[in-house]
Structures are given as C-alpha cells and as structure tokens.
C-alpha cells in the first residue's frame, strides 16, 4: 500500500442483523455498481478523487464465518494495519455492527471521534454486554467505550424511537425535509467543528423508494438528492474515514440500492480527499 491515500475494504458480514439478512452481498454489489461511475468526476465536486487520490481496493476482509466471536477483533486488526500506514479507509458493508470494530481502530489513532451517522435508526439501544454482536447497538457501545464523543457527533435521518440518546444531537428525517439540506449541513458543521470525523451511512437512511434493498426499511426517509446535497455540504470537515452499510441486494432486483451505495461511497471519498488534499 506504499503511497496510497485511501483503502477500500469490503466486509461481507451480516450475522448481527435482527431480521432480514443479505448485506453480506453488499460489497460485491456496490463494487459492481461503481463501474458506472469512474468515467466522469463526481458531479458537484471541483475535483476527481480517483484522479487526485491514490485509491487502493484491498478486497474483502478474510474471516471464519463459523467463528463469529473472532470477527470483531479480525476487523479491528485489519483497519489498524491500514491506518498504521497513514492510509484512510472507506468500508463497504455488511451490516451496521461492523462500524464498532472499525471505530475501535480509529479511536486508537485519533482519540474519541465525531461520528456523522446517516440512518433510520439510532443504533443506541441499550446493551451493556460488550461481547454481544448486534447491529442495533453499535453506537451505544461505542459511546460507552469512549470511542465516540457524543457532544460532537450527530445523527441524520432518524425516524424511529430511542428513549435514551446518550446526549447525541439528532436531525430527524422530518427536519431534513422541512429545513433543507443546506441548513442541515450547516448544523452538522457547527456540531462537529474541527474534530476528526467518521461518516457512517446506513443505506436505510434513504426512503425505501430509493433504497429498497436493505434489511430494516422505514418509510419517510431521505431522498437521494437530499443525501447528496448534505454530504457535499460537509466539505471541509476533517473526515478521516467512513463506511456504507446495510446494502442487501436480495431485496432489490433493480440494483438501485447498490447504485446509491456506490455514489455514497464516492461522496465519502470526496470528503476524505477534500481534507487530505487541502482543498479548502
């Protein structure tokens, strides 16, 4: 990985889902969908990350599917190995549990992180068994373990109930619809400030009309253009890495969900590159 700026890593893991599996096939589908994109720079950005960044696809994480308890440490070790070389990561999931082992490696390097989470669900459901593997509790555990600074983190697109938010600011889906992407991006920038930020995008942040291929769809979500506008409005935030999770191709015969995932991954690459290349 000598000279690389950014590594793409696939994590085909969906053994933490509560209902519908299938996101283990997400990395493959997102990569396939991404072949539509490299011929032109991403619209709305003044630079092309694939031309100006050295991006390496490191393939998929190798792990033993039958030894689920060993998976978290395997993922943390792989991310740690990449970060040690001065390279950032954009990870293709997989279910949302994968973000917790990733954050462990990032927090080792950067300290408590700002997390910018796009999601229909808060993933803050209480679970104090830190060995339990569940995609609905990753952020609860990350906050409790000191990996995330909740006061400088923010959740966007939420439309499910969580009683204890652990102090995390939220911009729910209705607020996005009523206030607009520019206002949302401004609010996120104020919350995050100059903290090192990790962007995690659960594809179910998008309304099922735009991303039906996911395990836990919830109506009333973001439209694709809103997500794109918010992400582009975050340029200049110190994004050190990110992921796209919960793309489940078996529930979408059109491929539209994977196409959305590929675009989101590209937007995260742009956010990372904007800071890495000093475009601001």
Range from 11-20, 39-48, 126-135, 141-150 carrying the lowest mean pLDDT: 126-135
Domain CATH code at residue 165: 3.40.800.10
Residue 123 assigned as binding residue: yes
In a domain, 48, yes or no: yes
Q: Record the tokens describing residue 15, joined without a space.
A: 């053994």
Q: Determine the pLDDT at residue 37.
A: 85
Q: In 3D, which of 173, 169, 143 has the Cα closest to residue 158?
A: 173
Q: Write out pLDDT tens, residues 214-242.
A: 999 999 999 999 999 999 999 999 999 99
Is the pTM higher than 0.95? yes
In a domain, 1, yes or no: no
pLDDT band of residue 99 (cuts 50, 70, 90) is very high
Helices and strands (H, E) in the chain, number of each type: 9, 8
In a domain, 181, yes or no: yes
CB-CB contact of 168 with 183 (8 Å): no
Residue 182 assigned as binding residue: no
Q: Write out pLDDT tens, residues 142-186.
A: 999 999 999 999 999 999 999 899 999 999 999 999 999 999 999
In a domain, 30, yes or no: yes
Split into its structural domains, the chain has a count of 1
pLDDT band of residue 263 (cuts 50, 70, 90) is very high
Residue 204 assigned as binding residue: yes
Please tell me the distance from the alpha carbon of residue 106 to that of residue 235, in angstroms, as a whole number: 20
Please tell me the distance from the alpha carbon of residue 95 to that of residue 245, in angstroms, as a whole number: 6
In the predicted structure, residue 130 carries a pLDDT above the cut 80: no
Q: Determine the pLDDT at residue 40.
A: 86
Query: What's the average model confidence in pLDDT over 65-80?
Result: 97
Q: Determine the pLDDT at residue 128.
A: 86
User: 263 is in which domain, residue-wise?
Assistant: 6-276
Q: Record the tokens describing residue 179, joined without a space.
A: 């206030």
Residue 202 assigned as binding residue: yes
Q: In 3D, which of 215, 224, 278 has the Cα closest to residue 249?
A: 215
Residue 252 assigned as binding residue: no
């Amino acid at each position: 990985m000598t000279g690389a700026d950014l590594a793409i890593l696939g994590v085909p893991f969906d053994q933490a889902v509560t209902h519908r599996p299938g996101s283990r096939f997400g990395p493959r589908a997102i990569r396939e969908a991404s072949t539509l994109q490299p011929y032109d720079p991403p619209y709305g950005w003044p630079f092309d990350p694939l031309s100006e960044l050295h991006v390496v696809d490191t393939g998929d994480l190798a792990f033993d599917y039958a030894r689920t308890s060993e998976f978290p440490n395997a993922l943390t070790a792989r991310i740690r190995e990449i970060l040690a070389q001065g390279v950032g990561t954009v990870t293709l999931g997989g279910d949302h549990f994968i973000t917790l082992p990733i954050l462990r490696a990032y927090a080792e390097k950067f300290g408590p992180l700002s997390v910018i989470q796009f999601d229909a669900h808060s993933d803050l459901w209480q679970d104090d068994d830190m060995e339990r593997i569940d995609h609905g509790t990753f952020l609860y555990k990350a906050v409790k373990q000191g990996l995330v600074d909740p006061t400088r983190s923010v959740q966007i697109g939420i439309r499910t109930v969580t009683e204890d938010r652990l102090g995390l600011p939220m911009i729910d889906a209705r607020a996005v619809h009523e206030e607009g992407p520019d206002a949302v991006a401004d609010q996120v920038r104020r919350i995050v400030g100059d903290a090192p930020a990790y962007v995690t995008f659960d594809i179910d942040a998008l309304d099922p009309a735009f991303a039906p291929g996911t395990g836990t769809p919830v109506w009333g979500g973001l439209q694709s253009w809103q997500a794109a506008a918010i992400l582009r409005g975050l340029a200049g935030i110190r994004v050190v890495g990110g992921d796209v999770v919960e793309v489940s191709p078996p529930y979408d015969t059109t491929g539209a969900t994977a196409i959305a995932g590929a675009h989101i991954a590209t937007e995260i690459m742009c956010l990372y590159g904007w800071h890495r290349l000093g475009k601001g």
